[in-house]
Structure 1
Amino acid sequence: MKKILYLFLIFLHFSCADAQTFDGSWKGEVNVSGQKLLLVFNLKKDSNANWVGTFESPMQTSLKFPINTIKTHEDSISMDVKAIGLSYTGYLDRDKDVMKGVMKQGNFESAMILVRSENEQSGLSRKQDVFPPYDYIEQDVSFQNAKGNASLAGTLTYPKGGGSFSAVILVNGSGQQNRDSEVFGHRPFKVLADHLSKNGFAVLRYDDRGIGGSKGEVNLATTIDFASDANAAVDFLSKQQMVKTGKIGIIGHSEGALIAEIVAAENDKVNYIALLSGPVLKGDSLLILQSYALGKVAGLSEPALEANKLNNRKLYDILLRDEPPKVLAESLEKELIRQNNGNALTSDMKVKLSPMLIPWFKTFLRIDPAYYLKQVKVPVFASFGGKDIQVPANENIYALQRLHLNTTDVTIKDYPNLNHLFQNAQTGKIEEYFENQESFNEQLMDDLTKWLKLKTK
């Protein structure tokens, strides 16, 4: 299963008492040969109360194809677009504006999340996107992580004119993302790299293993493995002639911020780190908090939110046990049957359980960022968005402020109107990521750049 956008929230529910609706324009993206494609499903009921709809891939063609078959059952849906041999099978998440499922076309198959949009407008306006020619040098590079048996490909940008420069590595959040951290048509890392290189920095950004030009084990990989890749990136960058010795840092987003902490705690070549929406709370606590925040913006009642919190706590307590996968799976199913009022789980429900048993998820539950943060001795820049419902700001800032760190050089920035992707937002809900023209907030980039220049004088 593919992790995408947020820390693979498993926001389970097995009661279908709530009314389900699939009306609207659903937008998602799929990675094909390293390229992200936007896909759009427009659904509505006709005068006879039958589902009808159209499908489009606006980055490939302006044509809209009829969806020939649409079948729904409670929170599940299946759709077929016969003209191009494409199908999608999925289910509504607790947040009824998010659908999770699998897209198939011929021999191609991919997990895909769809997000409900307020309109059928399929064009994506990304006002900050950057294109050549650039005011700096851009090079395609590759490096090896011998320890993790991974081959990483990326892009190195640095100012023209020769000389040596302070340097940073950009590390993606959860899920296999390309070097631009591309999501829903946004390329925030490309925007950030452009900004930093124009301001005098060398910047390395790379494809996560398993996507773009990078290769390596993904299905069994954990946050620790991805930190090993980032360590290899530090070692590679430190050997480049345009990079100043003693002036290398890491900028990580979400899980990438956690990775920055892990690497900085053990690699003395790292001289400063910037944490963008970085988790401070332990993994299981963060996910429970995340579930609550997502449910709240989705309109769940307080009793329902509290019930979900208790149910998730019981599930995570099971996963935290040191038991064989088969035993854990049996214990999870038994607990979920209890949560499902004693009713047996359907095959669809069992499919929803599978992500909870992957090594990444079980490891993430156990990771305590505080353990690594307490070992960091270099300057830290930590920024949070007040509309972030994936790494909620208040609780994580409070946790960071209470830590007894080995460094006193800590800058904490709270941006009240920014979401998890650091876009100006109204609610922070995931569907806003699609509609927002902003890819990475200018004020944050300016603040981060000023801090970096101060720390690399």
Structure 2
Amino acid sequence: MKHSILTVLNNSTYTRFFFINFLLVLCLCSNTPLLAIPTHFTTKDVKFSSEGISLSGTIFRPDNVSGAVVLVHGSGQEKRMIEFATLLAKNGIAVLTYDKRGVGESGGVYAGPEVGTNNVDSLNLNLLSLDASAAVNALSEDLRNNKVQIGLMGGSQAGWIIPLAAQKNKRIKFMTIFSGALIPVKQQLRFQFYTNGNSSFWDTHTEEDARKHIMTDPDRYEFTDTDPLDTLSQLSIPGLWIFGGKDIQVPVNLSIEYLNGLIADKKKYEYKLYPDLGHNTAFSRSAEPVEYAISWIKNRKGAKNK
């Protein structure tokens, strides 16, 4: 049973690959302009408080800051994302990356499938969003003399956490989300159970078939659900979602359908779809998703953070 939960909830494997291999993918793609003129940066280890516990992280600060993000973890026991933060800093983006609560040098209790708890319960997702909000405050203080917006960036499970954090903290000015579902957690789990890790799933199944199971399959686990549309419908900040058309963990077409509904309601949301990529849009044969995300972040304009 533990093994199936690990598979379904995308434990540390996805997040580790997602961020560590950003740098590897780009280094292998000699034509990419991202690292053509690397920017010098400094690093500083920091500690900050969230909900009564101390979290430990590292701030990456380029000499010329053109954007700023806090990196939000997916599921799993994730430490600070040094390799990915380095890549962003070389491209002029300031970063705060931190050890997840209960992991590495951060205090608190880790909740996740590895220790028999349900890390997608709304209580845990909200707690993790409070941690991300506290990290934004810490980065904002460090960048107080810079006229640069601060946003959140992450993948997979972070797609539920980031909007919750943005709702809590007005300092968060944008969201960049890779392969994040725009459907309730329970529906996403139904889809993952149905695809069962089959990389050829879309070769033998239709969108109609997948949606039927998403909407009607019984739930294998009971917990307080989270619907991201409840939060996204209330936010006014820009957001970018990057999807892979062959994703077998997030129902992309359904998520895009809901996202288009929010865009029709004049939300400042947009998305980029790569039809031939799967869930790990960043760890793929194409460096384009990473390039697109970095360019989008650097184009965020705004007043001095307060």
User: What TM-score comes out, normalization by structure 2 length?
Assistant: 0.74
Q: Contact conserved, 1:164 with 1:242, CA < 8 A, in 2?
A: no
Distance 1:374 1:450, change over 3 A: same
State the one-letter code of the partner of 1:153: S
Displacement, 1:406? 6.6
Task: State the match for 2:218 in structure 1.
Answer: 314
Q: Contact conserved, 1:291 with 1:309, CA < 8 A, in 2?
A: no
Hey, what's the Cα distance between the residues in 2 that align with 1:225 and 1:282?
18
Hey, what's the Cα distance between the residues in 1 that align with 2:7 and 2:105?
20
Hey, what's the Cα distance between the residues in 2 that align with 1:143 and 1:402?
37
Hey, what's the Cα distance between the residues in 1 that align with 2:100 and 2:7?
14
Structure with higher Rg: it is 1
1:388 to 247, 251, 261: 247
State the one-letter code of the partner of 2:290: M
SS in 1 for 2:217: helix
Q: Which has the higher strand share?
A: 1
The aligned length equals 268
1:402 aligns with 2:266: no
Q: Contact conserved, 2:54 with 2:108, CA < 8 A, in 1?
A: yes
State the one-letter code of the partner of 2:106: S
Task: State the match for 2:236 in structure 1.
Answer: 377
Q: Which runs of 5+ in 2 are unaligned?
A: 17-22, 29-37, 112-116, 118-122
Residue deviations 1:106-130 (CA, integer Å, cap 9, x gap): xxxxxxxxxxxxxxxxxxx956579
SS in 2 for 1:411: strand
Distance 1:315 1:279, change over 3 A: closer
2:192 to 256, 266, 290: 290
Task: State the match for 1:190 in structure 2.
Answer: 83
Displacement, 1:309? 4.6
Displacement, 1:424? 6.2
Task: State the match for 1:263 in structure 2.
Answer: 165
Distance 1:289 1:243, change over 3 A: farther
Task: State the match for 2:174 in structure 1.
Answer: 272
Hey, what's the Cα distance between the residues in 2 that align with 1:245 and 1:134?
18
Displacement, 1:371? 0.5
State the one-letter code of the partner of 2:40: D
Q: Contact conserved, 2:67 with 2:300, CA < 8 A, in 1?
A: no
Distance 1:127 1:374, change over 3 A: closer
Task: State the match for 1:159 in structure 2.
Answer: 62
SS in 2 for 1:179: coil
1:170 to 71, 74, 80: 71
Distance 1:6 1:420, change over 3 A: farther
The equivalences for 1:19-418 within 5 A come to 126=24, 135-145=40-50, 147=51, 149-160=52-63, 166-180=67-81, 190-191=83-84, 193-219=85-111, 222-241=124-143, 244=146, 247-294=149-196, 296-297=198-199, 309=213, 313-316=217-220, 319=222, 362-363=223-224, 366-403=225-262, 407-418=266-277
Mean CA deviation greater in 368-377 or 446-455 = 446-455
State the one-letter code of the partner of 1:390: Q
Distance 1:6 1:449, change over 3 A: farther
Q: Contact conserved, 2:152 with 2:175, CA < 8 A, in 1?
A: yes
Q: Contact conserved, 1:252 with 1:259, CA < 8 A, in 2?
A: no
How large is the Cα RMSD of the aligned pairs?
3.6
State the one-letter code of the partner of 1:143: F
1:7 aligns with 2:25: no
Q: Contact conserved, 2:69 with 2:151, CA < 8 A, in 1?
A: yes
Ranked by relative contact order (alpha carbons within 8 Å, sequence separation 6 or more), the top structure is 2
Q: Which runs of 5+ in 1 are unaligned?
A: 10-27, 30-35, 37-124, 181-188, 320-361, 426-437
Displacement, 1:153? 1.3
